[in-house]
Structure 1
Amino acid sequence: MVSYVSEQLYVFLATLYGGIFIGFIYDLYRIFRCIFKPKKIATIIEDLIFWIVISIAAITVLLFSNEGQVRFYTFLGFMIGSILYNRILSKFVIKSMILLLRMIRKIILKIVKIILYPLRVLRKLFLKPWRWLKKKITQHYFRCKRICLLPKIVYNEMKKYIKFIRKKK
C-alpha cells in the first residue's frame, strides 16, 4: 500500500513539474508572439504548433512517470503546476527572457557594426571624390545637352520662319 501511494505521489509530482514546464513553454510562446506580432494565418499555425509541443510534453511526462496512464490526479498535477508557475515564476521568467533577448540583440548589433566598419570607412574614402566628380560631370552634362539641343532649336525656329514667309506670299 505504501509503495502504491509513493508511486502515485511520484506521478503527481512529475505531472506537477510537467505543468511547470508547460507554463514555461507558454511564456516562451507569449514572448515570441509579442516580439513578432504574427498575422491571422501565422497565428493559427503557431497555435497548432504550440498545442502539438504541449501535447508531446504532457505525453512524455505521462509515459516516463506512470507508463502513460491518465488519471484524474495527473490532470490535477498539470493544472496545479501550470497555475503555480503562472503565479510565482512567470513574471520573473518573462522579464529575464526579455532582458536576455535585448542583450543578445545588442551583441548582434555590435558584431554587425564591427563587421560593417571597414565598409563605412571605404564609403567615406570614396564618397568625397565621387561627389566632386559627379558635380563636375553634371555641370558638363547639362552644358553638352544644351549644345546638342541647339541644332534642334535652330531647326524648329527655321520651320516657323519658313511658314511665316510662305504665308506672306
Structure 2
Amino acid sequence: MNVFYATIYGGILIGILFDINRSLKENFKIIKKTSFILDVLFWIVITLIVFIVVNTISKFQLRYYHFVALAVGFILYYNTISKFILKFNNIVIGFIKLLIKKIILNLVTILENLYYIIVYSIHLLFDIIFYIPSIIFTIGRKSSRRPLVKRK
C-alpha cells in the first residue's frame, strides 16, 4: 500500500509541473509561439519523474497500479488545489516579470544618462581643444590688423 501512496505523490508532482507549464504558456508570448519545445521538455521531465518514482519505490518492477496511482494522484491534485497553485504561479510569474521590467527600465535609464555624460564630456573636450584656441587666434589676428579707433 505504501508503494501506491508514493506513486500518488508522483502523480501530484506531475500535476504541479503541469500547472507550471500552463502558467508559463499563459504569461509569456514568446513561449506561446514556441510551446512545442516547452511541451517536449515537459514530457521529458515527466518521463524522468515516472522512472525515478518507479525505480525508488519498486526497483523498476512496473505494474499496472503504478499508472493507476499516477493518474489518481494527478486527478486528485487537478481537482483539488490546482486552481490555487495556478493562481499562485501566475502571481509569482507576474511579480518576476514586473521586477525584470523595472530592472531593465532602470538599467536603460542609467545607460542613457551615462551615454549623455560621455557624449557631452567628449563634446566639451573638443570645444576646449579646437574652438577656444580658434577664438583666441581670431581675436589676435583681428587686433593686429588695424586699431579699433582711428587716430587723427
TM-score (norm 2): 0.66
Deviation at 1:123, TM superposition (A): 7.2
Deviation at 1:96, TM superposition (A): 0.5
- Is 1:85 matched up with 2:113? no
Superposed CA deviations along residues 33-78 of structure 1, whole A, max 9, x for unmatched, are: 2223534xx4443332222211110010000011111112211110
Letter in 1 for 2:91: L
**Structure 1: where are the runs of 5+ without partners?**
1-8, 128-169
**Structure 2: where are the runs of 5+ without partners?**
121-152
Letter in 1 for 2:11: G
- Is 1:75 matched up with 2:67? yes
What is the rounded CA distance, in whole Å, between the counterparts of 1:45 and 1:94 in structure 2? 21
1:1-169 map, 5 Å: 9-34=1-26, 35-36=28-29, 37-39=31-33, 42-121=34-113
* 1:69 match: secondary structure: coil
Superposed CA deviations along residues 94-118 of structure 1, whole A, max 9, x for unmatched, are: 1101101111122222222332333
What is the rounded CA distance, in whole Å, between the counterparts of 1:44 and 1:106 in structure 2? 26
Distance 1:44 1:67, change over 3 A: same
Deviation at 1:89, TM superposition (A): 1.4
Larger radius of gyration: 1
Please name the residue that 2:147 is paired with.
Answer: none
Distance 1:98 1:73, change over 3 A: same
Percent identical pairs in the alignment equals 33
Deviation at 1:12, TM superposition (A): 0.6
What is the rounded CA distance, in whole Å, between the counterparts of 1:43 and 1:109 in structure 2? 23
Comparing 95-104 and 44-53, the one that deviates more = 44-53
What is the rounded CA distance, in whole Å, between the counterparts of 1:46 and 1:104 in structure 2? 19
Aligned residues: 117
TM-score (norm 1): 0.60
